[in-house]
Chains A and B, each alone.
Chain A
Amino acid sequence: MSTEAIPAEKPKRNYNALFGLTLLALLVLLWVILSLSTSSFASANNISNLLRQGSMIAILAVGQTFVIITGGIDLSVGAVVGFATVIAAMLINAGIPVFLAILITLLVGVAIGLFHGFGIVKMGLPPFIITLATLTSLRGIGLLMTNGNSISINNDAFQEFSRNSFLGVPNLFWMVILVGIPAYVFLHHSRWGRYLFSVGSNAEASRLSGVNVQRTIYMAYTLSGLCAAFVGVLLASRIGIGNPTQAEGWELQAIASSVIGGTSLFGAVGSVHGPLLGAFILATINNGANLLNVNAFWQRIITGVLIIVIVYFDGLRRRGGK
């Protein structure tokens, strides 16, 4: 039936870019509406605030997307963020130089990701299970280490970082760019990125084609863990405390951002720019709802409805292409 596909196939080529534009248009539309309907939205202060709010989920969503593309899921990222704030706070308070403290925290994230890879590849556990297990136990380990208390970080320079801006743009948003550009190159222009897609599409076919499937899975979870630990460092800097119960539910926000950004939970479909846009759409909705004095409970409901609507239309678009 190869001839049947010819005419239907043509528009498909630009769909990904087009979908990215649709999301961007949605984001811009939200911004325009909020600028017109509230006096405070368009202020420099609020925009900076919005960018700060969205940045951390955006970085988490990028890591999460790598995992989802392989057909997996990483439920642990919220817990890793909380745990990383504890590690960073303890190390900094112990007088270890900040850059070293950050490096060690990042390595902890890498180690957690490797552990997930081990559980999936060597123990044969489903990704949902191994990362769920880490989610609850990391919170527990963090509480044990802190005795249930918050650790105040006594290092002003470390905390200033997240509050400062560079060229008028909040440092936290620069961090999104710092993560986003290499992530984009990695996913869309390196063979490792290709392997993430191929493993998510058909692991057996990939293996028979010489792709190291196990290493690819290790890589995906390690990158997700690394992103989460990095967000932990940023959160510690922003709030100035280490507390293992922070970032509750962030894993779900990261997954939501990724899915809104066009990632398929069945694997093999996804991008870097999609989840970034998804994260800022979610952040905008929360920010706008606050400014419009919408009940916080309603915000959650709106977010839920939005996820359904966007993913439904994304599904229509995909099916329409066939």
Chain B
Amino acid sequence: MTSMAQDLHPAPVLEPGRTILELRGLEKKYPGTHALKPVTLAFKAAEIHAIVGENGAGKSTLIKLLTGVMPRTSGDVVWEGKPAALATPHEAMALGINAVHQEVVLCRHLTVAANMFLGEENSRFGILQQRAMVKEAQKIIDDLGFDLPAHVTLGDLTIGQQQLIAAARATVRGTKFLIFDEPTAYLTRKEADQLFKLIRRLKGEGVTIIYISHRMEEVFELADRVSVLRDGTLVGTRNIAETNDAELVKLMINRSIEQIYHKEHFTPGAAIIEAKNLSGKGFENISMTVRAGEIVGLYGLIGAGRSEFVTTLYGRHRKSAGQVQWEGKDVQINSEHDAIKLGMALAPESRRDQGLCLNLPVGFNLNLPIYKRISSNLLISGTQEKTQADRQIADLRIKTPTRNALASSLSGGNQQKIVIGKWLAHGAKLFIFDEPTVGVDVGTKAEIYRLFSALLSKGAGIILISSYLPEVYELADTLHVFRRGKLVATHGFRTADHEEILTQALAEKQEKLGGKI
């Protein structure tokens, strides 16, 4: 590849407004399930077309069909006026259809530049032109306005930054049709803004964008048109100017927005945990208390030190200074084991990496923290194992055929319910939820929030980390704002407005994007 910079600006083949891709009765059946009922829809050149719907509504199926990952059952796809088979990912890419996935699928051990040109390396006489590639990559990144170095290892960046690279990567390959699958799930507001800038720019260059998101405000901010899927059926397509939040949510779930953020107030009881001037890797001098019956929200950018703070509380990392009290007594928490023994539970940020044993059954995952309790001596009680798992599946309304289904076969929302739900039987007193609703649809979100209330009513306390401001804002009794490893502000329930909190989290404008602490 010699002219990489040129590929950054693929010439629009069609003028805006013309149809680039048309679906005619596109349908997908799995054995016994109708994942996508015949969809007829035309995407216009250079439009941003949002697709919304609950998990399991058929969005992923649609993406998989469009990117050639799976064959369709019936129906036709017409690309630029000609029928397209879309039988393989290769064919889709050759046409100019690309996707940026929610979970970054890149090589974490290679450099940013190497990832950008993966599969299309610049070489002379078989020798990689490494320096030239880094330079090119840096140019593209700078051009897009991302303040990121091209020579560092991808895995050293935050998940949000990796997502930006994944998006930048998709733009250098002559893409005409780009699908974003929940790209902002792991992004901070600032990173999301950069991504939006990139998306608008691509649109300006004639690229058609499919934007899949659970976040309504993003849909309204970005999209020209929006299509709603429910239970595999396309229930409607609207011009964004002619619709509103309420209508879309109603189309999606038949439930009103007020019912989502379910907040009950309990009278706070005794302090469960108290951190006094706690310092460690990534944060310093943090003091806070969590009492029974309250949700303490931690808001801030990704990399602001919130996850580091809670994992240190949880014994994963060593604290460098400060003191922790559990129910009024000084404690040393040196391992996760200590934390769990005290009565803490942590539902981690990345459910695939840290939360689940994906290739093991649902029941196994649910019982993992309590195997000690359901075994006598060393032997596990088979009946208890079954009844515990089944009860959890029913209580949490996890959609799974049986407790023996593999966790990997469940949808993201249901997987998240396992990550959270496995602690319910354990009976912890302090729950730490790190981004509990990332990549989860509105209906499941509402269920998870209801779960919070159930926990609080039993006298538990909750630490809720979220980069999604409305979530912490509507749920937290006490809201702490983190910036660069420090606790910079504390608010009560709805005592500050969004703007004030955002400013505190961002502070100076010149702050480097996610600079590593």
Contacts and interface: CB of A to CB of B under 8 A. Distances in A.
Interface of A: 1-10, 12-13, 185-186, 189-192, 194-195, 197-198, 201-202, 204-212, 268-269, 322
Contacts of B369: 209-210
**Most B CB within 10 A of own CB, among A2, A7, A201:** A2
B360 A198 contact: yes
Nearest to B413: A2
Contacts of A210: 336-337, 340-341, 369
A270 B11 CA distance: 53
B405 A9 contact: yes
Interface in B230-261: none
Interface string B398-425: 0111101110011100100000001000
Nearest to B340: A210
Interface in B305-332: 314, 316
Interface in B365-380: 367-369, 371-372, 375, 378-380
B411 A190 contact: no
B401 A5 contact: yes
A204 to B, nearest CB: 5
Nearest to A215: B337
Given A202-B357, A208-B354, A268-B357, A197 B32 contact: no
Given A13-B404, A198-B357, A209 B379 contact: no
B30 interface: yes
**Most B CB within 10 A of own CB, among A1, A12, A189:** A1
Contacts of B346: 208
Contact of A9 (B337, B359, B402, B414): B402
Interface of B: 30-33, 35, 55-56, 60-61, 314, 316, 336-337, 340-341, 346, 348, 353-360, 364, 367-369, 371-372, 375, 378-380, 382, 399-402, 404-406, 409-411, 414, 422
Given A194-B371, A205-B357, A210-B340, A3 B33 contact: yes
B422 A209 contact: yes
Nearest to B351: A205
Nearest to A214: B335
A269 B414 CA distance: 23
A201 B410 contact: no
Nearest to A207: B336
A185 B31 CA distance: 36
A6 B401 contact: yes
B357 A1 contact: no
B378 A191 contact: yes
Contacts of A3: 33, 56, 399
Nearest to B356: A205
B35 A1 contact: yes
B430 to A, nearest CB: 14
Given A5-B400, A5-B401, A197-B360, A189 B380 contact: yes
B350 to A, nearest CB: 9
13 contacts: A2-B56, A3-B399, A4-B56, A7-B30, A7-B31, A9-B401, A191-B380, A194-B367, A197-B360, A202-B354, A204-B348, A206-B368, A209-B340
A271 to B, nearest CB: 14
Classify the secondary structure of A's interface with B. helix
Nearest to A267: B359
Contact of B33 (A7, A186, A211, A212): A7
**Most B CB within 10 A of own CB, among A4, A10, A197, A202:** A4
A2 B400 CA distance: 6
A268 B359 contact: yes
A186 B360 CA distance: 18
A1 B368 contact: no
A209 B420 CA distance: 11
Contacts of A202: 353-354, 356-358
A190 B379 contact: yes
B61 A205 contact: no
Contact of A4 (B33, B348, B357, B359): B33
B364 to A, nearest CB: 7
A318 to B, nearest CB: 10
Contacts of B401: 5-6, 9-10
A269 B410 CA distance: 19
A8 B402 CA distance: 11
A208 B359 contact: no
B359 A201 contact: yes
Contacts of B409: 2, 5, 9, 322
Contacts of A211: 368
A34 B497 CA distance: 82
Given A2-B399, A322-B409, 4 more contacts: A5-B405, A6-B32, A209-B368, A210-B337
B60 A201 contact: no
Nearest to B57: A1
A255 B382 CA distance: 30
Contacts of B367: 194
A312 B55 CA distance: 34
A258 B160 CA distance: 41
A233 B382 CA distance: 36
Nearest to B367: A194
Contact of B360 (A2, A204, A268, A322): A268
Contacts of A212: 337
A245 B196 CA distance: 66
A12 B316 CA distance: 36
B115 to A, nearest CB: 23
B378 A7 contact: no
A60 to B, nearest CB: 24
A211 B340 CA distance: 10
Nearest to B341: A210
B378 A13 contact: no
Contacts of A201: 357-360
Contacts of B372: 191
A136 B442 CA distance: 58
A269 B359 contact: yes
A206 B357 contact: yes
